[in-house]
Amino acid sequence: MEIQLTVNNKTHTVDVPGETPLLWVLRDELKLVGTKFGCGVGQCGACSVHMDGIITRSCLLPVSIIDKAKITTIEGLSEKNNHPVQLAWREIDVPQCGYCQAGQIMTASAFLAQNQNPSQEEIKEAMHGNICRCATYKRIERAVQTAVEISKKTTK
Ligand code: FES
Ligand code: FES
């Protein structure tokens, strides 16, 4: 089945079965391998992308239902890897093995787009569904707080 989809502001046409999860279209067809396979059942967050700005688990999303929604992956989050969340992640040096981190960053960036001044509890709640086998949770929380501060400085 031929399917058109918009990923990182570019339109692509792929020929795959309609039930193919978006994750595999991103990785195998479009070679956007920043989005990771973790559990395949919506439990870990490694495959998180934005669909029209909303955080979405690409391992569960059949590519045929995306229609005209715009998908953003870690590769398209910013032009120069300078989204406040990416800057904060570098400043705090969050990753250990790195495997879960694209999903963490996509979750944090979608959350902060909705809530520019979150409390610590709100940050914990927003990030709690993203599993990190290396247990970088404390650094993730600090980095989300740092991203809030960076965003405030850059929008002054
Ligand atoms: S791979 Fe999608 S939630 Fe785990
Ligand atoms: S940094 Fe290793 S799984 Fe999160």
Cα dihedral angle (73, 79, 84, 89), rounded to 10 degrees? Answer: 60
> In the prediction, which pLDDT does 107 show?
98
Give the ligand whose atoms come closest to the C-alpha of residue 42. 1
The whole-chain average pLDDT of the chain stands at: 97
Same domain, 40 and 95: no
Cα 52 to middle of ligand 2, angstroms: 26
Closest CA to 22 of 1, 45, 48: 48
Number of domains in the chain: 2
> In the prediction, which pLDDT does 155 show?
73
Same domain, 18 and 72: yes
Cα 116 to middle of ligand 1, angstroms: 26
Ligand 1 neighbours, Cβ below 6 Å, are 37-40, 42-47, 57, 59
Q: Would you place residue 154 in the very low, low, confident or very high pLDDT band (cuts 50, 70, 90)?
A: confident
Please give the residue range of the domain that contains residue 28.
2-76
26-39 mean pLDDT: 98
Atom of ligand 2 nearest to the CA of 96: 1
Q: Would you place residue 143 in the very low, low, confident or very high pLDDT band (cuts 50, 70, 90)?
A: very high
* 3 state DSSP class of 78: coil
* Residues 6 or more apart in contact with residue 155 via CB below 8 angstroms: none
Domain of 114, CATH number, reads 1.10.150.120
89-117 mean pLDDT: 98
> In the prediction, which pLDDT does 99 show?
98
Same domain, 118 and 100: yes
Closest CA to 111 of 120, 99, 100, 122: 122
Cα 16 to middle of ligand 2, angstroms: 31
> In the prediction, which pLDDT does 156 show?
64
Same domain, 63 and 92: no
Same domain, 11 and 69: yes
Name the percent of the chain lying above pLDDT 90.
97
pLDDT digit string, tens, across residues 120-134: 999 999 999 999 999
Mutate-to-test residue for ligand 2 from 37, 93, 94, 96, highest number of ligand atoms within 8 A of CB: 96
Between the CA of residue 66 and those of 6, 22, 128, what are the distances in Å? 9, 9, 26
Give the ligand whose atoms come closest to the C-alpha of residue 60. 1
